[in-house]
Amino acid sequence: MIIDIHGHYTTEPQALHRFRDQQLAGLADAGRKPKSADLGITDEELVKSVEPQLRFQKERGSDLTIFSPRASGMGHHVGNEAIGREWCRVSNDLVHRICTLLPENFAAVGQLPQFPGAPIDNCIPELERIVGELGFVGVNLNPDPSGGYWKSPPLTDRSWYPIYEKMCELEVPAMIHVTGSCNPAVHFTGAHYINGDTTAFMQLLQGDLFKDFPTLKFVIPHGGGAVPFHWGRYRGIAQDMKKPLLEEHLLRNVFFDTCVYHLPGIELMARVVPVDNILFASEMLGAVKGIDPRTGHHYDDTKRYLDQVNQLGEDARWKIFEGNARRVYPRLDRQLAKRGHPGRKTA
């Protein structure tokens, strides 16, 4: 089974965008607020909206996509906290419906109603709802709800602890994923996303968070930002800071996805990052939509790159494509087992 752990609902129906426009228009003119959070989207429309994803799954050879609302759409810095909470709920509910309609193809990950300066505690009810009531298997956590200005304390700060306690209790990992940037100096997919990954990794390196939360799990997307390319730098900085080796200090808790859109990048990852820490992902229909004229294939068809990394043996491939995902997302593993897809016994 091939599990793609990083997909966003980037083919959402226009009705969702209309709702968001009305929400934000309502800030300026209360008469324009949406009348209802019922978007009137039918199941048929939802299934139709993810046909591109289903086609790519078939064409590229993946089975299941871990699916969350559009990352840039989370917009934690936009509007106010109440509007954000409603938006979050509506966005999560749509993802839930898709995953319920197509359980063999999608497993749900949610967004949180984070808001700049608001305590993370305010996100706990939504986390409990999506995991406890809706069966979500993970959550996206934004280390910079200010949208490109980095006004929150680092992820190792105690102010974040309430969400970590709840994540551990519920056995869900977080993908550390920023949302859009409202900073004109920082492009969202070309700078903010990658910087977010790099910054989060460095925050974790500086701290000792996993002493307090030994079972907490984070996935850093986009191949870990700059981290694998600068693996020697991070090993050396950790050493200068008298931290343990990265393997002991971070790698029981921190994982990287494979959203790196060329073969040399994927080869580098496979060389420097331990195989237990690499999870297959493509973020298809996301940041880069084109076809690479050098290969004739989509840039974001990352399975092709992995298939070309010759030094990966069968066991390593199984870990990257399935085993690690089942380990990092234990609720997904149990859902799959219940539906007749048991995992492999590991040594």
Q: What are the structure tokens assigned to 3, written together?
A: 């599990």
The residue from 29, 44, 133, 240 that contacts a copy of itself (CB under 8 A) is 240
Please indicate whether residue 126 is annotated as part of the active site.
Answer: no
| Residue appearing with tokens 């949208």 | 147
Tell whether residue 304 is a contact of a copy of itself (CB under 8 A): no
Q: Could you give the count of Cα atoms lying within 13 Å of 245 in the half-sphere of its Cβ?
A: 5
Does residue 288 touch a copy of itself according to CB under 8 A? Answer: yes
Residue of 12, 267, 283, 322 marked active site: 283
Biggest distance spanned by C-alpha atoms of the chain:
61
SS3 content of the chain, % helix, strand, coil (to 5): 50, 10, 40
Nearest distance, CB of residue 78 and a copy of itself, angstroms: 18
Q: Which is nearer to a copy of itself, 45 or 157 (CB)?
A: 157
Q: Is residue 321 involved in binding a copy of itself (CB under 8 A)?
A: no
77-102 residues labelled b (16+ CB within 10 A) or e (exposed):
bbbeeebbbbbbbbbbbbbbbbbeeb
User: Got the DSSP string for 72-96?
Assistant: TT--TTSS-HHHHHHHHHHHHHHHH
Asked if 113 contacts 123 with a C-beta cutoff of 8 angstroms, the reply is yes
**Which residues in the 246-275 window bind a copy of itself by CB under 8 A?**
260-262, 264-265, 267-268, 271-272
Answer yes or no: are the C-beta atoms of 300 and 283 closer than 8 Å.
yes
What's the min distance (Å) between Cβ of 126 and a copy of itself? Answer: 23
Among 40, 52, 61, 153, binds a copy of itself (CB under 8 A): 153
CB-nearer residue toward a copy of itself: 16 or 204: 204
Among 22, 80, 239, 346, indicate the residue that binds a copy of itself (CB under 8 A): 239
CA-wise closest residue to 180 among 259, 273, 70:
70
Q: Which of 40, 132, 214, 236 binds a copy of itself (CB under 8 A)?
A: 236
Per the listing, tokens 């399935």 go with: 322
Nearer to a copy of itself, 50 or 226 (CB): 226
Which residue, 32 or 233, has its beta carbon nearer to a copy of itself? 233
By the rule CB under 8 A, 190 interacts with a copy of itself: yes
At 196, which helix (H) or strand (E)?
Answer: helix 193-206
Minimum CB separation of residue 261 from a copy of itself in Å reads 3
Check binding of 161 to a copy of itself (CB under 8 A).
Answer: no
Is 237 among the residues that bind a copy of itself (CB under 8 A)? yes
Integer Cα distance of 270 and 274 in angstroms: 7
Residue 96 Cβ vs a copy of itself, minimum distance, rounded to whole Å: 30
Task: Say what angle helices 193-206 and 231-240 make with each other, to 10 degrees.
Answer: 30
- Closer residue to a copy of itself, CB minimum distance, 184 or 340: 184
Residues in contact with a copy of itself by the rule CB under 8 A: 143-144, 148-154, 183-187, 189-191, 194-195, 198-199, 202-203, 205-206, 222-223, 225-226, 228-237, 239-240, 260-262, 264-265, 267-268, 271-272, 287-290, 292, 299-300
Q: Catalytic amino acids?
A: 283
